[in-house]
Chains A and B, each alone.
Chain A
């Protein structure tokens, strides 16, 4: 099942609907890389609310999304990391550079607007 990608203004919103296999994760990564160029998007929100596991592979793919987008001048925000998933990522010691994180879609878009204005990071 592929992940729907929506366009809103200058932003792309990918909302993951269910647990993903590795190949689906890669598909999402490649889709987003393509669309960022195609739509000259200024930001990406990836909604991971439905991901019940973020392991080293998923984290790496998400970071790649972030760094590819950055090369094209777009910032990427992960939103909806669940409490238990956040705890697992921290204990795993996964790194999410250069991604931003926010609570939900609304906050994610706020982060993108702020970074566009030159605010530095995802701090409130």
Chain B
């Protein structure tokens, strides 16, 4: 390596470092020894107790693919297809709890298994062995870095996705004041999330004895028929529970969509912005003057 930073997309292996006439020899040897070396690699993997969540059959088939890709990368000097494979593999195994140290561990084991076999093969000719290892080591290290980085990047992507999912699942219903709750909806809503939001809101009406709910959809970019109908249903269900709903933050785009979808807005109380909605809510709550607790009722015969 010439001190270049291992940034992605990974530049090709520095093939000039691999002796032009040695390379075919080395590759041919590794292909010829493929079965034996793979077996050795698998046994080192299980000795090291890596990949515990995968079955022996699965490990075997992945090992074959990784080995072939590995040797191809040595031969062509390009890590691109290895990188693609590593990403794909990572995506499959991250969900099952394979850890970063395991992935690094197995790639380094392969590097060592191959290095050892090269050593055995060429130990009688120390000078040739030296040249072979000089070519092999940087390439092998580069491959290890590629696989490791692919895995970590893939893992970060999965974690980001999970975090986004969790954020969306947990839109809070806020109690602003006595008998008034607000549900600020932010982000994309599909029908499943709409259902969850409805359940949260209706439960909050009960828990807070809310008389007015403000549903603020300022943070919602677009809406489809299913979600629009769900909104109408939510408002109606709130009414059955004795609470009035006010919808705020209806963008002109969404309002137009609702009209196009022929969603019946006539029964909905819509107010331009959240501030206006809260004022309307206070007005509605102000109506309520009587607040005497009922005397215990007398039982009829």
Contact = CB atoms under 8 A, between A and B. Distances in A.
Contacts of B240: 81, 86, 89-90, 96, 101
A4 B209 CA distance: 25
Interface residues of B, number: 33
Contacts, number: 88
Contacts of B205: 83, 103
Interface of A is mostly: mixed
B242 A103 contact: yes
Interface string B52-70: 0000000000000000000
Given A8-B295, A84-B199, A90-B233, 17 more contacts: A5-B300, A7-B300, A79-B242, A83-B199, A83-B203, A83-B206, A83-B241, A86-B238, A101-B240, A101-B242, A105-B294, A106-B294, A107-B242, A110-B290, A114-B290, A124-B211, A124-B212
Interface centre among A89, A104, A109, A124 (most CB of B within 10 A): A124
B287 A124 contact: yes
B202 A86 contact: yes
B244 interface: yes
Given A96-B240, A124-B288, A104 B209 contact: yes
Contacts of B236: 90
A50 interface: no
29 contacts: A4-B299, A6-B299, A7-B299, A81-B240, A81-B242, A82-B206, A83-B202, A84-B202, A86-B202, A87-B198, A87-B199, A87-B233, A90-B233, A90-B237, A101-B240, A101-B241, A102-B242, A103-B205, A103-B210, A103-B241, A104-B242, A105-B294, A106-B293, A106-B294, A107-B211, A110-B291, A122-B242, A124-B287, A124-B288
By secondary structure, the B interface counts as mixed
A102 B244 CA distance: 10
A83 B237 contact: yes
A84 B206 CA distance: 11
A103 B243 contact: yes
B169 interface: no
Nearest to A107: B242
B209 A103 contact: yes
B298 A6 contact: yes
A123 interface: yes
Interface in A65-108: 79, 81-84, 86-87, 89-91, 96, 101-107
B206 A103 contact: yes
A117 B56 CA distance: 79
A103 B238 CA distance: 10
A101 B233 contact: no
Interface of B: 198-199, 202-203, 205-206, 209-212, 233, 236-244, 284-285, 287-288, 290-291, 293-295, 297-300
A6 B300 contact: yes
Given A5-B300, A104-B209, A124 B244 contact: yes
A109 B285 CA distance: 16
Interface string A1-31: 0001111100011000000000000000000
Q: Max chain A CB contacts within 10 Å: which of B198, B206, B210?
A: B206
Contact of B284 (A81, A103, A104, A124): A124
Contacts of A123: 244, 284, 287
A106 B202 CA distance: 19
A86 B212 contact: no
Interface in A10-65: 12-13, 35
A8 B292 CA distance: 14
Contacts of B299: 4, 6-7
The 6 closest A-B pairs by CB, nearest first: A83-B202, A8-B297, A103-B242, A102-B242, A86-B237, A86-B240
A41 to B, nearest CB: 11
Nearest to B209: A103
Nearest to A96: B240
A124 B246 CA distance: 13
